[in-house]
Structure 1
Amino acid sequence: MNIQYRDFLIRSWQKGDRSTAAEIIGSVLADYGLSWEPLGADRDVLEVEQCYQGVGGEFWVIEQAGKLIGTAAYYPISRGEKAVEIRKMYLLPEARGQGLGKFLLQQLERTIAAHHFDQIWIETASVLKEAVQLYETSGYQPTTGVKTARCDCVYVKFLKL
């Protein structure tokens, strides 16, 4: 899978991306005062094969000029009906403010819909103000049931009514 957006390349994760993807996520979390949790909420980044590819999900990385600058992923979940959770949508500061986050979310939604899922769930932290604004302006509705300790917001979007 390769998708171009301006000078960014969105592509499927490869084994060689593991440590850089983890560094990106850890860096963005630190920028917002959140901690990297390799044994908890971020274990999935270190085990992409089992946590995403092995269960019908996908993990993407975003490149700019050959350098990884972001990540995005989803996997099926038991919460809801025919549901997935979007996870690990992180962009380094130099990739923000160019419409990439919105484009990335739209591409995730298209891919998820093409795989016949009906609901998308997202957990996030309110300190990630740009992410919260993106989700709220993209049709995600606040709901309850946060399952990740560092998150305090959960959203859902229904693809089929």
Structure 2
Amino acid sequence: MKAIYSDFLIRNWEERDRTRAAQVISYVLSEYGLAWEPNGADRDVVQVEEYYLATGGEFWVIEHQNQLVGTGAYYPIKRGEKAIEIRKMYLLSSVRGLGLGKYLLQQLEAAIASRGFQQIWIETASVLVEAVKLYENNGYKPATGVETARCDRVYVKILNQP
């Protein structure tokens, strides 16, 4: 993956990004009063190779002027039909409100659709107001079965098949 949005670069995660990606996610979580859980909900950020690369998923980072400012990822899951879950979609507050989140979501959806998946699942927390609005405004429907302790919402979007 390599895409440009304005002067942001979205690219595939590399091993050297591990600490910086964790810092971005931890910072955004703390901004909303949520805990960074390296042994729980955020284990996948510490073990990207195992959770994403080895399972057929992808983990992307967003750079702006050589600084990591966001992340976005997905991997196949067992629930639903030919389903994946979008995970770790986080942007630092300094780059929110520029359309970057919507662009990132569209890029993730395009990559997912091109690989033949039919359902996209997303878990989030109500306190992540901007994320909830983004998903609801882009065709994600409330569902049930939250699996992550710090999340209280789950959404699903059915992709149109050709």
Regarding TM over 0.5, the answer is yes
Tell me, in whole angstroms, the C-alpha distance in 2 between the residues paired with 1:125 and 1:137.
16
Q: Which residue of 2 aligns with 1:98?
A: 98
Q: Percent identity at matched positions?
A: 66
Tell me, in whole angstroms, the C-alpha distance in 1 between the residues paired with 2:108 and 2:9.
14
Q: Which residue of 2 aligns with 1:49?
A: 49
Are 2:119 and 1:119 aligned?
yes
Are 2:37 and 1:37 aligned?
yes
Equivalent AA in structure 1 for residue 74 of structure 2 = Y
CA drift of 1:59 comes to 0.1
Tell me, in whole angstroms, the C-alpha distance in 1 between the residues paired with 2:57 and 2:43.
15
Tell me, in whole angstroms, the C-alpha distance in 2 between the residues paired with 1:18 and 1:36.
14
Tell me, in whole angstroms, the C-alpha distance in 1 between the residues paired with 2:8 and 2:59.
16
Tell me, in whole angstroms, the C-alpha distance in 2 between the residues paired with 1:94 and 1:7.
14
Q: CA-to-partner distance for each residue in 1:34-65, whole Å, 9 max, x for gaps?
A: 00000000000000001000000000000001
CA drift of 1:69 comes to 0.3
CA drift of 1:160 comes to 2.7
Q: TM-score, normalised by structure 1?
A: 0.99
Tell me, in whole angstroms, the C-alpha distance in 2 between the residues paired with 1:23 and 1:114.
30
Tell me, in whole angstroms, the C-alpha distance in 1 between the residues paired with 2:49 and 2:36.
20
Structure 1 runs not aligned, ≥5 long: none
**Paired residue secondary structure (1:85):** strand
Tell me, in whole angstroms, the C-alpha distance in 2 between the residues paired with 1:38 and 1:48.
12
Tell me, in whole angstroms, the C-alpha distance in 2 between the residues paired with 1:113 and 1:9.
21
Moved over 3 A (4+): none
Tell me, in whole angstroms, the C-alpha distance in 2 between the residues paired with 1:43 and 1:160.
32
